[in-house]
């Protein structure tokens, strides 16, 4: 059984979660669930980034102790992930003792490797990014992500000897030993090497809320060193069983804003400690909302909880991830959520399931006395049909897409089937066959039920509740839930029509 370790960024808890956080987390959940479907031994990690001056200030603004404030906001993240059916295996908080212990061991190793030294930092710092910023990174003197001029600071810090590890990291990226996807993001990272990268501070002097740095006086661990370590501390670094089993990460899923940290700083620090390096970084794009950057002042911050209330958990998952190609920048068209939900979920998918299962129940009724199949209630298909070819072809497309983390293309493969079948039903008119040609009706119904079974399974990573409901309506969930992937995707199953249930409407129209 292959192991698969997948992570999301750990999110800052200075404010409640928004749709940006949900975007990455739902996408990671789709990939994690897909790998479970394949039969892999999956470890899916998410968590919260709770230290640093930004969070201390947010707590202060509400007159709360930082820990209490973090507890509250973290609870919002966890409850959102539950409401969105996020199947994480662990949730790491950087204020937990297990994390702090791991971070201290990691820093100790860096020291032993002579990878850190004391010096002074003078330059710019963007608190929003919690990042030391070069002038090249600014746009009109401002941080491009926070639209604010970074603060000029001068501090005595500990530095990480990044320069020593750069050639090796660069060559590993070039040769895809650390794979950075999509390709343009790899180019972006290689461009950063060209621009020049310098050693960076790994401790802060004037920050109070964080992990005490084990060296120097009154130094706090730089929040990014603290945060990146989560990917190994959650596994019980350095000696934990999970660390032995799951490290290195098979996939760090991140947004473009934190690329440099994940593609350069993190592998370099791991290298210094002699640890294995992450295999793949998938960098998804940044989105705007209805054409504008999401911001509190513009009032266009979308609360995923509101989406869940209106569209249900699977409806919200669908609307969040199906807006634009995964990996590219795009726009979330919030004003079209209703239309998209009605067209793609209520009509194309929901109606299809309702139509086919209702017809199949007619078949059941008909078979009480006058079945044309000798075997009774179980319909078997003998010949391969045009539809079976479509299913086989689209499983291939689905697998290829998801293996490359192209979650939008994987979903397209499912929707190609859904759209084709809707049209097919309109063409063959099974309700007429039922009256005129019973044998043909039964064969058509077998095809349609078998197609639903495949759609049900293909949707499993995307719409886990809906997937289960479809398979339950077909009366095969109990039988199929423990089946291996190879069995699942074969065109062959026998459906016992006496077990088909009338289910609730999957996606009520809005």
Which residues, including other chains, have CB under 8 Å from residue 79's CB and lie 6 or more apart? none
- DSSP 8-state class, residue 341: I
Q: Does 132 bind ligand MSP (CB under 6 A)?
A: no
Q: Which two tokens stand for residue 480?
A: 């199929």
* Count of residues near ligand MSP by CB under 6 A: 19
Candidate list 16, 18, 64, 333, residue with the active-site label: 18
Dihedral sign, Cα of residue 351, residue 353, residue 354, residue 360: positive
Length of the chain: 510
CB of residue 166 to ligand MSP, shortest distance in Å: 20
CB-facing half-sphere around the CA of 402: CA atoms within 13 A: 28
Please report whether residue 107 would count as binding ligand MSP according to CB under 6 A: no
CB of 257 to ligand MSP, least distance (A): 5
Non-local CB neighbours of 378 within 8 Å, separated by 6+ positions: 494, 495, 496, 497
Sole window of 225-233, 338-346, 364-372, 458-466 interacting with ligand MSP (rule: CB under 6 A): 225-233
Residue 24 and residue 320: Cα distance in Å, rounded? Answer: 9
For residue 143, indicate whether it is catalytic. yes
Question: Shortest approach of ligand MSP to residue 278 CB, angstroms?
Answer: 12
CB 85 within 8 A of CB 313: yes
| The one catalytic residue among 70, 78, 143, 489 | 143
Select the residue interacting with ligand MSP from 92, 143, 181, 258 (CB under 6 A). 258
Clarify whether 146 is annotated catalytic: yes
Among positions 5, 6, 9, 337, the unique one binding ligand MSP when judged by CB under 6 A:
9
Q: How far is the CB of 310 from ligand MSP (least distance, A)?
A: 21
Question: Would you call 134 helix, strand, or coil by DSSP?
Answer: coil
CB of 480 to ligand MSP, least distance (A): 34
| Alpha-carbon gap, residue 510 to 507, rounded angstroms | 9
The footprint of ligand MSP on residues 189-218 (CB under 6 A) is none
Binding mask 228-247 for ligand MSP (x = CB under 6 A): x-x-----------------
- 12 counts as binding ligand MSP under rule CB under 6 A: yes
**78 contributes a contact to ligand MSP by CB under 6 A:** no
Q: Which is nearer to ligand MSP, 264 or 444 (CB)?
A: 264
227 binds ligand MSP (CB under 6 A): yes
* Residue of 4, 43, 69, 287 interacting with ligand MSP (CB under 6 A): 287
In the complex, which residue's CB is closest to ligand MSP? 20
Residue 180 exposure: Cα atoms within 13 Å on the Cβ side: 26
Which residue lies nearer to ligand MSP by CB, 20 or 182?
20
Residues 154 and 143 sit within 8 Å (Cβ to Cβ): no
**Which residue, 327, 335, 342, is CA-closest to 291?**
335
The residue assigned the tokens 């044998």 is 439
293 is catalytic: yes
**CB-nearer residue toward ligand MSP: 15 or 392:** 15
CA-to-CA distance for 361 and 331, rounded, in angstroms? Answer: 42
Q: Does 49 bind ligand MSP (CB under 6 A)?
A: yes
- CB of residue 70 to ligand MSP, shortest distance in Å: 12
Print the SS3 string covering 178-226.
CEEECHHHHHHHHHHHHHCCCCEECEECCCCCCCECCCCCCCEECHHHH
Name the segment binding ligand MSP (CB under 6 A); options: 79-87, 153-161, 249-257, 394-402: 249-257
Please pick, from the candidates 254, 264, 399, 495, the single residue that binds ligand MSP as defined by CB under 6 A: 254
For residue 372, whether the previous peptide bond is cis, meaning omega lies within 30 degrees of 0, is no
Q: Cα-atom radius of gyration of the chain, to the nearest Å?
A: 26
Nearer to ligand MSP, 110 or 379 (CB): 110
DSSP code, position 234 = T
Q: What is the DSSP letter of 277?
A: P
Region from 10-18, 155-163, 316-324, 498-506 binding ligand MSP, contact rule CB under 6 A: 10-18
Which residues are known to be catalytic?
18, 21, 126, 129, 143, 146, 293, 296
Q: Catalog residues that contact ligand MSP under the rule CB under 6 A.
A: 9-12, 20-21, 23-24, 49, 227-228, 230, 254-255, 257-258, 286-287, 294
């Amino acid at each position: 059984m292959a192991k698969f370790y997948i992570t999301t960024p750990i999110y800052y808890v200075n404010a409640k979660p928004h749709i940006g956080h949900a975007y990455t987390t739902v996408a990671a959940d789709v990939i994690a669930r897909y790998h479970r479907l394949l039969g892999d031994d999956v470890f899916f990690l998410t968590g919260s980034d709770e230290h640093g001056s930004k969070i201390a200030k947010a707590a202060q603004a509400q007159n709360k102790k930082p820990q209490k404030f973090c507890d509250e906001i973290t609870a919002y993240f966890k409850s959102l992930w539950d409401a969105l059916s996020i199947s994480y295996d662990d949730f790491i908080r950087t204020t937990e003792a297990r994390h702090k212990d791991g971070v201290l061991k990691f820093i100790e190793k860096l020291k032993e490797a002579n990878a850190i030294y004391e010096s002074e930092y003078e330059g710019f710092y963007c608190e929003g990014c919690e990042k030391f910023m070069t002038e090249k990174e600014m746009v009109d003197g401002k941080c491009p992500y926070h639209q604010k001029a970074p603060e000029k600071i001068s501090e005595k810090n500990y530095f990480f000897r990044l320069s020593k590890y750069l050639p090796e990291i660069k060559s590993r990226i070039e040769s895809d030993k650390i794979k950075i996807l999509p390709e343009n993001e790899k180019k972006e990272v290689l461009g950063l090497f060209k621009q020049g990268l310098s050693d960076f501070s790994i401790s802060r002097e004037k920050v109070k809320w964080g992990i005490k740095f084990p060296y120097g006086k009154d130094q706090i661990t730089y929040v990014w060193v603290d945060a990146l370590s989560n990917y190994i501390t959650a596994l019980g670094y350095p000696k934990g069983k999970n660390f032995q089993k799951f490290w290195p990460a098979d996939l760090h899923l991140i947004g473009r804003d934190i690329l440099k940290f994940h593609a350069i700083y993190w592998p370099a620090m791991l290298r210094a400690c002699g640890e294995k390096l992450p295999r793949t970084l998938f960098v998804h794009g940044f989105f705007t909302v209805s054409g504008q950057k999401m911001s509190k002042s513009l009032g266009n911050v979308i609360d995923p909880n509101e989406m869940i209330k209106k569209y249900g958990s699977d409806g919200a998952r669908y609307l969040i991830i199906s807006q634009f190609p995964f990996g590219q920048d795009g726009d979330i068209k919030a004003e079209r959520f209703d239309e998209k939900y009605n067209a793609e979920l209520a009509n194309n998918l929901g109606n299809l399931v309702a139509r086919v299962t209702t017809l199949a129940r007619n078949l059941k009724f008909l078979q009480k006395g006058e079945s044309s199949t000798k075997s009774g209630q179980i319909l078997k298909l003998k010949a391969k049909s045009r539809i079976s070819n479509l299913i086989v072809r689209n499983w291939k497309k689905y697998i290829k897409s998801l293996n490359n983390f192209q979650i939008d293309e994987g979903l397209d493969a499912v929707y190609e089937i859904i759209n084709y079948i809707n049209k097919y039903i309109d063409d063959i008119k099974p309700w007429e066959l039922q009256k005129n040609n019973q044998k043909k009706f039964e064969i058509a119904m077998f095809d349609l039920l078998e197609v639903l079974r495949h759609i049900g399974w293909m949707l499993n990573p995307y719409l886990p509740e809906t997937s289960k409901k479809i398979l339950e309506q077909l009366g095969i969930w109990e039988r199929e839930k423990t089946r291996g992937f190879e069995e699942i995707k074969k065109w062959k199953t026998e459906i016992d029509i006496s077990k088909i249930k009338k289910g609730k409407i999957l996606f009520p129209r809005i």
